[in-house]
Structure 1
Amino acid sequence: MDVSIETVERTDLRQPLVAPTDSERKPQTKVRSLESVLAESNLPFRRRLYLGACIEMKVLFRLALPAILLYLVNSGMSISTRIFAGHIGSQELAAASIGNSCFNLVYGLMLGMGSAVETLCGQAHGAHRYDMLGIYLQRATIVLALVGLPMTILYTFSYPILILLGEPKTVSYMASLYIVGLIPQIFAFAVNFTAQKFLQAQSVVVPSAYISGAALILQILLTWITVNVMGLGLMGIAYVLTISWWFIVVAQTLYITTSQRFRHTWTGLSWRSFQGLWSFFKLSAGSAVMICLEMWYSQILVLLAGLLKDQALSLDSLSICMSISGFSFMVSVGFNAAVSVRTSNELGAENPKSAMFSSWMATFVSFVISIAEAVALMASRDYVSYIFTSDAEVAKAVSELCPFLAVTIILNGIQPVLSGVAVGCGWQTYVAYVNIGCYYVVGIPVGCILGFTFNFQAKGIWTGMIGGTLMQTLILLYVTYRTDWDDEVKKARKRLDIWEDKKEPILN
């Protein structure tokens, strides 16, 4: 039996905007068509692989490219603050770098807790249980906003905390003022990340990318005015960044609540969202730990740099490298979002072969792209730092660190995608334990020994942390390879029955 691409490719796999009727569900969907191709025993293995790749690549890039744009823009908002700060002065660059690194603690917390919405909404959507998506969105927003309250206290007293960590007094004072200007962002994150996961679970990514793109343009324009015209310096940069994030929140909220595209998944505010908040918090906590441990890992490198001999040079060079790494990391995070949606949707639709195929396809594509990024970085290693600073000494230090950065970029081409598979399957708690062992038991201690005891400085710290990332990547590769995808389908069904207010799909 010969199967052509045309016979297995679904024409209606666009944004799942409305709940399908009974008659619309009779034709074979593209998700099930992929499953049927992969399960077709009459086809040679290479033919099945080719047809499956053709189908999956279209779906994967349709999700990943807008997601990459979205995360690049969001990352660009943070990077632009460092660029503006760097052109004010070296101390301002160091303060903005430490401030962003410290504030990324809450960024990681909110993003991590929001990934629980990604698991539940993705699997619920794949199982056609549409009404629960809006409930999950509201529950998650409430939980994240409550978690944000103690964070405001933490960042209000950031100055003594930075001093306690051994950071220079002048830089700590400037960084603490910068952080205070960012505090309203905490609650913007609480709304924004849950809304993003709500949209991504339905394969709706492009509108969020447009909104974030408009916010980035607004931020750059307003930052230039506040710094060069109004002379507000570092505080002006912080205020504008906060305003830009709230612009995203307002625009995205209006889009969800007013668009007819979500009339089956967003049915308005509901008291049901206040039910089971503690249980939802516990589920989100595993997600938060997984993501936070990953995001904080690289930020600790910047904080440790403040304890090295030449603090200003180390901070400036490492912060530039981390900015470049973060920019590259957003490409992998785009595939992370795409594979999370694909995996959770396929498991919810009870398609184990498609879930497995999507996982490995996304990992391979992201790895190839990361290789290209690393090669481009090494080719421009002597010039790339001048985007951030005109200091020749800093540029030389960045050039020396570029080989370490290239290895990090390659590893980051694999690890985030495997984490996306974990989110789609609901393995967050397990991955959190892996992260603790690899990052904080191995990576950071080894890095500190190499950096301080053996006096390899920044290179030693980074080498140890690369070792931790490599170990974690190998473990996740092994776990994904050994996964029983049929069993994951059963777990997804059980999870939906536990978390849903109704046991039956709303379409029945």
Structure 2
Amino acid sequence: MAENSGTTQPLLQGINDQARLSDLSSEAVEELLAQEPVSVGQWLRLVGWESKLLWYLSGASIAVSIFNFMLSLVTQMFTGHLGALELAGASIANVGIQGLAYGIMLGMASAVQTVCGQAYGAKKYDSMGIVCQKAIILHLGASVLLTFVYWYSGTILRAIGQSDSISAQGQIFARGLLPQLYAFAIYCPMQRFLQAQNIVNPLAYISFGIFLVHILLTWLVVDVVEYGLLGAALTLGLSWWLLVFVTGLYIILSPSCKETWTGFSMKAFRGLWSYLKLTLASAVMLCLEIWYNQGIVLISGLLPNPTISLDSISICMNYLNWDMQFMLGLSTGTSVRVGNELGAGNPKVARLSVIVVNATSILISIIFSAFVLICRTALSKAFTSDDEVITAVSDLTPLLAISVFLNGIQPILSGVAIGSGWQAVVAYVNLTTYYIIGLPIGCVLGFKTGLGVAGIWWGMIFGVFLQTVTLIILTARTNWNKEVEKAADRLKISADDEEKRDLVEHIA
């Protein structure tokens, strides 16, 4: 007991000294949390310490998420000046085609967050560059398969009920987006690779710079040179390749990555199958989440009076997407924090991270939901002057507020799952709550009860609510000590595989 008391005393002094709050290490906090009891004052200081780390990661990640999202938004705004048909084609291609690829790529990249985040926490830096390269190889392979979807997008759009004219414009736009698809495949792993090392501010600066360049380029191509819909799509691809080029240069040249990036290696082609299994689980998990909202929009187009239904739900989804980008940035910070601490063997700090980020996200969501309700009419007038659409959007804003609140909890819990490596379990949860329960209920309410688009949205809310409750239960029942052991086993298996392959090559 005397030994423990002597060890703990300096830690307690550090916690009680505000000036030294930033100097605390995760190991010191882990040791303090292991002591009983921890006073209220110390808890508040620990929450402040964790919040500072979380917002350092999340603030820049939110900026990256929003500015990258705005690349497509700016392109869509410029296509609106080409005509209603061109805008409809670009919009439906964004939802039905690009959204498909976005879900797959973003989902696959979350595996990089899991493995690299835990490897960074465990100080196994040399394996992180190899993981990033493995991810790029698999992403490029997925891009080759998705190329056929982009190329034959007109046929696909007609098959889901779109008119011939809109499908034709959508195909032009989707084919022009093919360069962007391959850039996205390379950028996503690089972004997660840097975020796993807590390198976030440079990513934000790069994204902001490319966003400004993109506005200029799109204006020149669409308004000045008048290259039309295809020109707008190709410009979006060019901007994404600029993101790849500048981010790649940073990884190769920056001293911050000298330990984690040691150059291209043939080791990236080894053990692809074991990494692919985690990647597929990650892709399925996030795809089921992202496609759920997009499916709601597509289904709304099948309702009676589809113009009003599509316009109203699309306006609401625009605001929900803005909120989603904010929460995805916070979710990224969460997954990095949890992954780093599990890899470092600090289960109590990982649990503290989960508590702090969930409390933070709930508070933010309450504020965002209140804003939606207070500004319900102004939100619709920002997009349209049609009185019928304004009324329809105003009627949907209470549902939007509920979705915004749930959206502040669910992505954060998904970030915890990514940091912990639970992707396969959450994929089953998403499939059940979204597609087996939520979507059928929404279709029944929308088409059979006269509720229309509101009925479809109620089904979506019910599915998200069930998924959120399930993730809360899963997180609350987590044994974080076991999660540390799983993280260590995951990294050990990867290291053992590399050693075995090197030994076989040496013998041969």
TM-score by length of 1: 0.92
Give 3-state SS (helix, strand or coil) of 2:377's partner: coil
11, 15, 28: which is aligned to 1:5?
15
1:19 aligns with: none
1:18-33 equivalent positions in 2, closer than 5 A: 30-33=25-28
CA distance in 2, matches of 1:225, 1:410: 40
- Displacement after TM superposition at 1:390 (Å): 4.6
Q: Are 1:204 and 2:199 matched, yes or no? A: yes
2:432 aligns with: 437
Point out where structure 2 has 5 or more consecutive residues left out of the alignment: 1-8, 501-508
Q: Are 1:173 and 2:206 matched, yes or no? A: no
- Displacement after TM superposition at 1:305 (Å): 1.8
Give CA-to-partner distance per residue, 1:84-107, whole Å, 9 cap, x none: 334444433332221111211111
479, 485, 496: which is aligned to 1:484?
479
1:425-504 equivalent positions in 2, closer than 5 A: 425-500=420-495
2:242 aligns with: 247
Asked if structure 1 preserves the Cα contact closer than 8 Å seen for 2:15 and 2:42, the reply is no
CA distance in 2, matches of 1:396, 1:77: 30
CA distance in 2, matches of 1:395, 1:99: 25
CA distance in 2, matches of 1:163, 1:150: 20
2:123 aligns with: 128
Q: Are 1:275 and 2:285 matched, yes or no? A: no
- Displacement after TM superposition at 1:43 (Å): 3.2
Asked if structure 2 preserves the Cα contact closer than 8 Å seen for 1:167 and 1:307, the reply is no
- Displacement after TM superposition at 1:365 (Å): 0.5
Asked if structure 2 preserves the Cα contact closer than 8 Å seen for 1:70 and 1:208, the reply is yes
1:52 aligns with: 46
Rate the CA distance shift 1:91–1:181 in 2: closer, same or farther, 3 A: same
386, 391, 404: which is aligned to 1:396?
391
2:60 aligns with: 66
CA distance in 1, matches of 2:20, 2:13: 14
Asked if structure 2 preserves the Cα contact closer than 8 Å seen for 1:118 and 1:423, the reply is yes
Q: Are 1:407 and 2:402 matched, yes or no? A: yes
* RMSD (Å) for aligned C-alpha atoms: 2.0
Rate the CA distance shift 1:236–1:305 in 2: closer, same or farther, 3 A: farther
1:292 aligns with: 287
Q: Are 1:85 and 2:95 matched, yes or no? A: no
CA distance in 1, matches of 2:292, 2:82: 28
Q: How many residue pairs were aligned?
A: 488
- Displacement after TM superposition at 1:232 (Å): 3.2
1:307 aligns with: 302
CA distance in 1, matches of 2:259, 2:110: 22
2:313 aligns with: 318
Give CA-to-partner distance per residue, 1:155-209, whole Å, 9 cap, x none: 1111111111112222222112111111112211111110011001100111111
CA distance in 2, matches of 1:338, 1:295: 19
218, 237, 245: which is aligned to 1:223?
218
> What letter corresponds to residue 94 of structure 2 in structure 1?
N
Write 1 or 2 for the structure with the bigger share of helix: 2
2:505 aligns with: none
Farther off after superposition, 412-421 or 154-163: 154-163
Give CA-to-partner distance per residue, 1:243-270, whole Å, 9 cap, x none: 1111111110011011111111000000
CA distance in 1, matches of 2:333, 2:138: 25
Q: Are 1:327 and 2:322 matched, yes or no? A: yes
Asked if structure 1 preserves the Cα contact closer than 8 Å seen for 2:410 and 2:468, the reply is yes
User: How many percent of aligned residue pairs carry the same amino acid?
Assistant: 44
CA distance in 2, matches of 1:405, 1:101: 19
Rate the CA distance shift 1:171–1:9 in 2: closer, same or farther, 3 A: farther
Farther off after superposition, 123-132 or 160-169: 160-169
- Displacement after TM superposition at 1:37 (Å): 2.8
CA distance in 2, matches of 1:396, 1:231: 36
CA distance in 1, matches of 2:20, 2:138: 38
Farther off after superposition, 278-287 or 236-245: 236-245
CA distance in 2, matches of 1:109, 1:9: 45
Rate the CA distance shift 1:11–1:200 in 2: closer, same or farther, 3 A: farther
CA distance in 1, matches of 2:22, 2:136: 31
CA distance in 2, matches of 1:65, 1:11: 20
- Displacement after TM superposition at 1:113 (Å): 0.7
Farther off after superposition, 162-171 or 88-97: 88-97
- Displacement after TM superposition at 1:308 (Å): 1.7
Give CA-to-partner distance per residue, 1:27-62, whole Å, 9 cap, x none: xx6111221232232532x23421210110110111
1:370 aligns with: 365
Rate the CA distance shift 1:156–1:289 in 2: closer, same or farther, 3 A: same
- Displacement after TM superposition at 1:379 (Å): 2.0
Asked if structure 2 preserves the Cα contact closer than 8 Å seen for 1:435 and 1:472, the reply is yes
Q: Are 1:37 and 2:47 matched, yes or no? A: no
1:264 aligns with: 259
Rate the CA distance shift 1:277–1:496 in 2: closer, same or farther, 3 A: same
Rate the CA distance shift 1:360–1:93 in 2: closer, same or farther, 3 A: farther
Give 3-state SS (helix, strand or coil) of 1:382's partner: helix
Rate the CA distance shift 1:94–1:242 in 2: closer, same or farther, 3 A: same
Farther off after superposition, 214-223 or 437-446: 214-223
- Displacement after TM superposition at 1:386 (Å): 4.0
